[in-house]
Amino acid sequence: MSSQELKRLIDELIDDEISEADFLRLEAELSVDAGARAVYYDRLTLNALLQSEASQAEGKTVPFHRGGKRGYMVAATAVAAVFILTAVGLWIGAGPMKGANKEDFMVSRNPEAPKESCASGFAVVSGQAGVSWENAPSLPDGALLPTGQLRLESGIAQLELFSGVTLTVEGQAEFELISSMEMIVTSGKLRAHVPEAAQGFRVHTPNGEIVDLGTEFALDISAGRSELHVIAGEVQWHPIGAEMTSLKKGQGLRIDSLGKELNRKPEDFVGNEDVRELLSSARDIRHRDWRRFRESLYADPRLVAFYDMKSADSTVRNLQNSAADGIGNSAAIVAAVSASDRWGNPGGALDFSPAGSRIRMAVPGDFDGLTLLVWVKINSLDRWYNSLFLTDGHDRHEPHWQILDDGRMFFSVKKYGDGARGPGPDKHICLSPPFWTPAMSGQWLMLATTYNSDSGAVVHFLNGEILSREIIPTDYRVKNVRIGNASIGNWSAPVISDPEYAVRNLNGSMSEFALFREALTSDDIQKIYDNGKP
């Protein structure tokens, strides 16, 4: 959140005018950000000093802090603020910290200026078949290709460079992208399709340099030898220590100690059609295996609800609960539109980015624990709260599961109702570390959170691995969790007649959602991911 927003929310808190939604957002920010807490102490101290001055001028006592319904943030923190303000004042007088770069200084001079989201890379992985990377063990489809030298041990990888160049690389291969218009190939076979907009694309090899003039070419490099074949268009070959050679469609060249020319056939290299067939075959096998495993999940007595978000008939927008012993019935699709699932099947998922999108469901009963699990593809986190699963109204003993705009997973079960909170908050919020960055946009992820009411443990998972584990304090544990009416991918309070609402629908797609009546183990979560990843 920006500095201006932070100050506004703190002032509303001090004046006892903050809304429930803004209070939750501020509470989450203060719990993890030392800088935000320093700003809070600053505003609280200023408020206390102003009230003190006013009381002296009027000859009467003014409460140090109004308290109000958010009174648990006590005024005693203002004492610590005096020391913080002193330190801040000394820093301002000394100027920017040594070693701060220009961007840091600009941000410090203009705290209201938003910082633009950044990612790193020159290409994305658009398809893979049987791949094994030596120094990049996990590169799902849609992932940014890491910078630096890469080694593809086996399989075939299709890469899309930001310049528009499409590369098909066959293992074993060693290469490095210098930019979206230049690369180094040390060994291996690749095929490149270069559109007109990427003319001038360069490939450095141990024997020379290829300069493309808008074409399709293939390259095969092994110890002491480079072979080049032009499939379409024209390229220039600049050998080390010799004159440039221009090659056109159908021509090939081998550069070794003998400097021989050769003719290679396009069939000797894997092409786009071959890659599509290989990827489709591998994906079909994985999808078939997942469907078999999913049948065993349906029969799991712990499963309450499982929704496969295949596009429903346009006139009957319902999703059937596949859980064999499920308590909830069918769910209603609202506004969400058809999308491709993680297997590439059209209509296998739902896109929640249109305004108002959600899935409405009802789950009766109480539960001793909880596991929430979803396969999701996030486009961006452009809302304050990006909904995964939220109950209507957020009453006592009900869970909320969402993602904050800074990429942290948020889970809570409300312990106290309005007026029963006493001196503290009405729930304990469990936040994961930030896990999502713009570089992950468009990637399919499996998110899960488990809650054990006996131990108070809340565990957040990303792709089968633990992100964080936290123990809820005893006085904030809820033994009997209830859900009732709820929404997947959005938040609802349908009894409110005011048509205006905060935008909290997820900007992304979901393919499957599961709800279990108890906390699954780490091994359970890992097994679901291993069987469900495409």
185 to each of 149, 163, 209, 210, 326, how far by Cα in Å? 9, 18, 10, 11, 54
Q: 185 pairs with which residues across the strands? A: 175
Please count the CA atoms within 13 angstroms of the CA of 73 that sit on its side-chain side: 23
Q: What is the pLDDT of residue 84?
A: 39
Q: What is the pLDDT of residue 253?
A: 82
Residues of the chain with pLDDT under 50: 60-113, 257-259, 261-262, 264, 494-495
To which residue do tokens 């499963």 refer?
303
Name the token pair of 335. 């506004």
Q: Which domains does the chain have, with CATH numbers?
A: 3-109 (no CATH), 123-270 (2.60.120.1440), 280-532 (2.60.120.200)
To which residue do tokens 């101290």 refer?
45
170: Cβ contacts below 8 Å, ≥ 6 apart: 152, 155, 156, 188, 189, 190, 269, 270
Do residues 352 and 489 lie in contact, with contact meaning Cβ atoms separated by under 8 Å?
yes
206 to each of 15, 226, 314, how far by Cα in Å? 69, 8, 58
pTM of the complete model? 0.66
Q: What is the pLDDT of residue 206?
A: 87
Q: 154 pairs with which residues across the strands? A: 132
| Residue closest to 486 by CA, chosen among 323, 324, 304 | 304
